[in-house]
Structure 1
């Protein structure tokens, strides 16, 4: 194990060098590329036109079939009928035209009557003044347009001019009615003659004399014209609407292009070409896309760790993250090898929460979420159902949901036994995700298939927990990682070292518990690891068990042995407990963080009591000889524990401390540590020291609050006096 630790330290030192860190990311990228190479490699098809397919071929992408789309649109345009509109105003126009003709005839007749009357009044020869019919016809034509006069014959005008007024009125009404009835219907260009015949039929059987009847028939036929016309604009709008309604013909991702044994026709051959299956041996696009995808992932990972710094802890976390991620990818690749078209959902059995839970326990939640997301994306490529270059979004959602479920369950759980419960929780979430995906896709599965998927989901959660439990000790021991779960185990009173303190140095045990209470609350107040501080406090004075009677908290009903010893000897005994404690902890294979707390919690502070005692004895002493060997506190947790240790001992020596006395004492001890340079090697700030002091005061005030003095206590004090 020690040899392994030395190799591990060497690797961590190398990762501090930028070149070796980039080399690690290059190795990660190569592993990712090789693991997904076969999933994006275009399928090579040796196909020719009119050959027979030797297997079923599916499209790897979704692509529009522009040729079929254009043909479908042309068919839709061809089915659109030309748009014709009826101009209803034409009916009224023709009625008005017929009316104007009759009115013109009536006006001419009235004019002639007026002229005859005028001549009669002048005793002129009326017979000589009779106006011939030809002149009357001329007068009527003068009142009408050339278009009318060219079409209506003179006999027709003559019949109307010679008709009696009442007959002319009847003829007018009948003609207008017939024209209006016929013109109210659609009359396309090829139906105009039929319209004229209809109006003729309506006027043929009237009681009028034959000449007038012939005249109104001629007039009616003249009035019937085309009223339905082609509308190019409306027709074009309908055609465009038909084009817009045609959905593009697409070859969908995963769609079967040709079945096994099917003849490859021109249409099928064109679809294979559109899907990129005929020139796959020359295409580098999928590999370029995969390389870019991996570059994005690794760039995000690089900057994420670079932001965290280049401490030994960060390098350890980077190495652990890389190993867990590679392990997850390898397991995923192994599972994907068993997937095919008939067993396409094998990805559900992948222990997706394993990597997430390991990283959550060993590092932190943020990196666990990042690993879950990129694992899900990689899973969408690997579990592509045998269709190269496609993405299985369903599996990606499943993996991400499974990983997040494990992270969320372990968020507040620090016992190792909770990992198996987390696996059960992940299994339940997996089942819900599968049901949701099935309902979303509106898929039809048999009860056997559904049961099979549920079994895979259950196995995924349980295997994630089992692998996490099995791999966690390897990472904890191999990489010296101190997890929250490990700390909980170390805090158990049944631990041999804690039992040793409790039985051999009970005063020290009580002191350690009090210091733990102070340090934990202060660490949590400044964002440090409160649990580490508590557990470290339990062991920080383990060295005192070697000579427990030489420490005042264990001197119950015995004389103080230091009263009989020279100051130098007492100094050596007291100082030795830090080195003795760290040695005992190393012997019991305790985590390095706990060992550091025992070794550094006194830093290089001065044993003031024995130093001044030695000076008073008249001997020539050096201050450096009465200081702890150190090193000084390297972390916030150790610095806070060291201050808490001094504060607890000092407050305990006071008989009835008041709140003001406690606060003054805490501030003086912090100031003394600061002035003595004991906090120079850790990253604690003055603001955080202020918060630490406030936390100590609050905790101590709760412990040393004022109590009611009962009568029995008063009597006892009187007797003692």
Structure 2
């Protein structure tokens, strides 16, 4: 029996896992299909406006540049680099040891010949043999040396010494060795060294003379590289309206390459289809990581792709004016309102991948815009103020203007084009935050989302619902405001969403508006109605304030995230007062009849509001004249610990360490409100 139960449990678990896997596959397939449609739609728009051009056939009309663009002419740049290389002359390194070595070798050679000739202990045949060894077995030179007189050899040695001194002072390069030898020959003739003397001078020079200026390959290569670095890429600027190909001109392959290079013409082939399919897969994987962790997946897909489509179409049309008008910052700001900051970072990659195949200019500007946009979005995300939108527009506009101008000049663009690109970039970043406010306003009302802007709007105490509450249910209004204050402080303590927590707290009890006097906080001047009615009826009225609140919130189109605070602020707790009162007359009454239906709070923000609601209500029972830190701390600890024991926080994404911080925050907030006041003379 036990094994049967285990097997059944395994089957149930596998069925659950398989069911989840099927859902994820369907979700991924939907995302992939939508991204594939987006990619091919952009391709269609690009090809639709592209005239039909066929190689070896006349152009159907004049082809002109639709907007001022620039590109690097690689052929001319390569030509400039080749010219720079050729302009560098070979560099030589002076070696002072060469002259010493050559002079020494010549002197040693002549001295060795003299020594052999003057040696009386050996025969002439032996002398000739030894001389041949030193002359590399050259018979002619050996015989001349054998016959020449000693004084003529000394004259020859002195002549060569003087000649080489003169030549080495001027310097001898590799290519100049033969010229140096010819110079020695001419000088020998002019000094009367003829016949065998001239032959010996020429032979010795050829044997020993070598250059003292040696080719320096390393220095020459460095000079070539420096020359190449100084070559500016040949930047070609085509002004708007410039005619590239005239009507009737026979189109060549080079024409097609030129049009592709400047982005006017895009080839459509199987490679393009395959590339877009592959990019769609990558984009889908990234988008899936964003959507899969969201609760309302289908709505989030609609939001994501509605925004993506809007921005991509804007990019397509604005890009025809200038690529520096592509609204990267606008996209990221709006994304940040509907998704997390982490999702914003992932979406940058998706956005770049979507535009990549259709850009007419380098990718650098898109990466540059993204790098400047991320800190701006982070600033808006952290400050949570309307003013941050306008401040970020000013700062972003100035930053991107100088950055784009600097980068353009670094790529050697003309001043006029650099100023133009910088101006478009300024307009883009300065006005994107303002336009983002309008886009967010439209999207948040269409999808009923609790964006920062919507929360700031709902946080206004003069909104119709809160104003009505302050008039019809002033006690509930004061209670909600109290809960909002201590909740938002607790949310800040654990880095939760403080503005969402505050707004959720302000509206959590709007259901009491229908029957305000049935709730204690609104019974200041009237008897407690619950003393005159049955506990079962009281239970229904109290329970219904949650249901009434949800209906009222939907009627006023409050965001679902705010409605979630209304339905979870009591969780599944028991109305203990009315349960005990009912038990007095009927011992068989069930506790479950007096339990709120839930659901349980499941986020840090809803947990905080639920606890703050209970803490505020319980704090009313404290004796204001005998209150201190210990009593407030005991009250807060008891209430939160009871909620934990009752399982009210079992679904919550909150840790025990975070709960401790929430407790400390609640105690500080209550103590600041209920602190003892010193008595002054005359009761003041």
TM-score tier (shorter): 0.7 to 0.9
For 1:301, the equivalent position in structure 2 comes to: 287
Matches within 5 A, 1:695-706: 695-706=665-676
- Choose which of 283, 288, 302 in structure 2 pairs with 1:319: 302
- Structure of larger gyration radius: 1
- Choose which of 633, 638, 642 in structure 1 pairs with 2:601: 633
Matches within 5 A, 1:552-567: 552-567=520-535
For 2:6, the equivalent position in structure 1 comes to: none
Q: For residues 675-718 of structure 1, give each alpha carbon's deviation from its aligned partner in whole angstroms, at most 9, with x where no partner exists.
A: 434334544455544443333233323333333233444xx9xx
Residues 633 and 639 of structure 1 are in contact (CA less than 8 Å); yes or no, is this contact kept in structure 2?
A: yes
Residues 518 and 644 of structure 1 are in contact (CA less than 8 Å); yes or no, is this contact kept in structure 2?
A: yes
- Choose which of 590, 593, 604 in structure 1 pairs with 2:561: 593
For 2:404, the equivalent position in structure 1 comes to: 434
For 2:158, the equivalent position in structure 1 comes to: 177
Residues 181 and 206 of structure 2 are in contact (CA less than 8 Å); yes or no, is this contact kept in structure 1?
A: no
Q: For residues 391-425 of structure 1, give each alpha carbon's deviation from its aligned partner in whole angstroms, at most 9, with x where no partner exists.
A: 52343145325643651442234455654554444
Matches within 5 A, 1:147-162: 147=132
For 2:679, the equivalent position in structure 1 comes to: 709
- Choose which of 17, 22, 31 in structure 1 pairs with 2:29: 22
Separation (CA, whole Å) in 2 of partners of 1:15 and 1:474? 34
Matches within 5 A, 1:234-273: 245=224
Give the deviation of 1:659 after TM superposition.
Answer: 2.8
Separation (CA, whole Å) in 2 of partners of 1:540 and 1:524? 19
Q: For residues 73-108 of structure 1, give each alpha carbon's deviation from its aligned partner in whole angstroms, at most 9, with x where no partner exists.
A: 999999999xxx988756555555655666677776
Separation (CA, whole Å) in 2 of partners of 1:28 and 1:650? 53
For 2:508, the equivalent position in structure 1 comes to: 540
Separation (CA, whole Å) in 1 of partners of 2:179 and 2:543? 123
Give the deviation of 1:378 after TM superposition.
Answer: 4.5
- Choose which of 475, 488, 495 in structure 2 pairs with 1:507: 475
Matches within 5 A, 1:437-452: 437-446=407-416, 449=417, 452=420
Residues 605 and 628 of structure 1 are in contact (CA less than 8 Å); yes or no, is this contact kept in structure 2?
A: yes
SS of 1:412's equivalent? Answer: helix
For 1:32, the equivalent position in structure 2 comes to: 39
Give the deviation of 1:597 after TM superposition.
Answer: 2.5
For 1:202, the equivalent position in structure 2 comes to: 191
Residues 373 and 400 of structure 1 are in contact (CA less than 8 Å); yes or no, is this contact kept in structure 2?
A: no
Separation (CA, whole Å) in 1 of partners of 2:631 and 2:177? 113
- Choose which of 652, 656, 661 in structure 1 pairs with 2:620: 652
Matches within 5 A, 1:182-193: 182=163
Q: List gaps (5 residues or longer) in structure 2.
A: 1-19
Give the deviation of 1:498 after TM superposition.
Answer: 1.6
RMSD: 5.6
Matches within 5 A, 1:131-530: 143=127, 145=129, 147=132, 174=155, 176-182=157-163, 195=184, 198-199=187-188, 202=191, 218=196, 221-222=199-200, 224-228=202-206, 245=224, 284-306=270-292, 308=293, 311-312=295-296, 314-336=297-319, 338=320, 346-376=322-352, 378-379=354-355, 381-384=357-360, 391-401=361-371, 403-404=373-374, 406-416=376-386, 419-420=389-390, 422-446=392-416, 449=417, 452-461=420-429, 463-530=431-498
Give the deviation of 1:480 after TM superposition.
Answer: 1.9
For 1:624, the equivalent position in structure 2 comes to: 592
Separation (CA, whole Å) in 2 of partners of 1:488 and 1:536? 12
Separation (CA, whole Å) in 2 of partners of 1:628 and 1:270? 73
Change in 2 beyond 3 A, CA 1:78/1:228: farther
Give the deviation of 1:429 after TM superposition.
Answer: 3.3
Q: For residues 639-660 of structure 1, give each alpha carbon's deviation from its aligned partner in whole angstroms, at most 9, with x where no partner exists.
A: 3322222221212112133333
Q: How many residues align?
A: 630
Alignment of 1:602 onto 2:570? yes
Residues 355 and 371 of structure 1 are in contact (CA less than 8 Å); yes or no, is this contact kept in structure 2?
A: no
Q: List gaps (5 residues or longer) in structure 1.
A: 1-12, 112-137, 161-167, 205-213, 340-345, 385-390, 717-721
Give the deviation of 1:470 after TM superposition.
Answer: 2.9
Residues 518 and 530 of structure 2 are in contact (CA less than 8 Å); yes or no, is this contact kept in structure 1?
A: yes
Give the deviation of 1:493 after TM superposition.
Answer: 1.7
Alignment of 1:672 onto 2:661? no
What is the TM-score of this pair, normalised by structure 1? 0.70
- More moved, 173-182 vs 186-195: 186-195
SS of 2:399's equivalent? Answer: helix
Give the deviation of 1:359 after TM superposition.
Answer: 0.9
Give the deviation of 1:475 after TM superposition.
Answer: 1.8
SS of 1:707's equivalent? Answer: coil
- More moved, 697-706 vs 138-147: 138-147
Give the deviation of 1:491 after TM superposition.
Answer: 1.8
Residues 657 and 704 of structure 1 are in contact (CA less than 8 Å); yes or no, is this contact kept in structure 2?
A: yes
Change in 2 beyond 3 A, CA 1:586/1:712: farther
What is the TM-score of this pair, normalised by structure 2? 0.73
Give the deviation of 1:625 after TM superposition.
Answer: 3.4
Separation (CA, whole Å) in 1 of partners of 2:98 and 2:373? 69
Separation (CA, whole Å) in 1 of partners of 2:345 and 2:615? 40
Change in 2 beyond 3 A, CA 1:155/1:289: closer
